[in-house]
Structure 1
Amino acid sequence: MHSTVVVLALKTVASGLFVAAFAVVASMLSPKRLAGVFAAAPAVALGSLIMTVALLGNAGAVVAARGMAVGGAGFAVSCAAAVPALRRWGVLRGTAMTIAVWAVVSAVLYRVVRP
């Protein structure tokens, strides 16, 4: 229990530092509306992976990176499905459908890439 809390705390600190660094770099980019895209997910993923390698080794990082890639692919497909779903079914049902698309795509991809 204690080591799990320490790992999570270190991942949180590392991810926070990367978010801040990415935000500084992104604020120098143009257009400014893209700054949030570059500051959020990549920074958290990078911080988490660095701490995973440091604490659990390469094998742990491979599993984490695979999960991030699968979740990211599911997210991309769900984003493409979101606009038509929201237009067709409205906010609540469209959002539920978008989440379902993400879950199904991610689950299928996870089964495919799982060693």
Structure 2
Amino acid sequence: MGLEVVQVLLKAAAGGLFVLLFAALAEMIAPKRLAGVFSAAPSVALGGMLVTAWLSGVSDVRQAALGMTVGAVAFVAYCLAGVPLLKRWGVWKGSSAALGVWLAVAVAGYLVVWP
């Protein structure tokens, strides 16, 4: 239990540090609308994977990276499906249907990655 708490705290600290570094990088690029792409998920993922590699080894990092990749693909499918579904069915039905698309893509991705 103690090691898990330390690992979570280290991941949070590393993720925060990388958020700051990526935010500084985002301030230097143009157009500014791309700044959020660099300052959120990639920096937290990188920090988390570095701590995982340090504490648990490379095989756990591989599993985490595969999970992040499947999640990212599912999120893209959610975004692509969300706009037309929201226009067609409204907020509640459209977002629920888009969530169903996300779930289907995520489950299919995990079945492909971890048969």
Structure 1-normalised TM-score? Answer: 0.96
Q: Report whether the alignment pairs 1:71 with 2:81.
A: no
Paired residue for 2:20? 20
Q: Gapped runs of 5+ residues in structure 2?
A: none
Spell out, residue by residue over 1:24-56, the C-alpha distance to the aligned partner (whole angstroms, 9 max, x if none). 001111111111111101101111111110010
Which residue of structure 2 lines up, in the alignment, with residue 42 of structure 1? Answer: 42
> Shift in Å at residue 3 of structure 1?
1.1
How many angstroms does 1:75 deviate by? Answer: 0.6
Letter in 2 for 1:93: K
CA RMSD, 1 decimal: 1.0
Residue deviations 1:7-34, cap 9 Å, x none? 1110010001001100000111111111
Once the two structures are superposed, the pairs formed by residues 43-62 of structure 1 within 5 Å of their partners are 43-62=43-62
Q: Secondary structure at the match of 2:29?
A: coil
The amino acid across from 2:42 in the alignment is: P
1:93, 1:37 → 2: CA distance? 28
Runs of 4+ in 1 over 4 A off after TM superposition: none
Counterpart AA for 1:92: W
Indicate the percent of aligned positions where both proteins have the same amino acid: 49
Match of 1:109 in 2: 109
- The aligned counterpart of 1:10 is 10
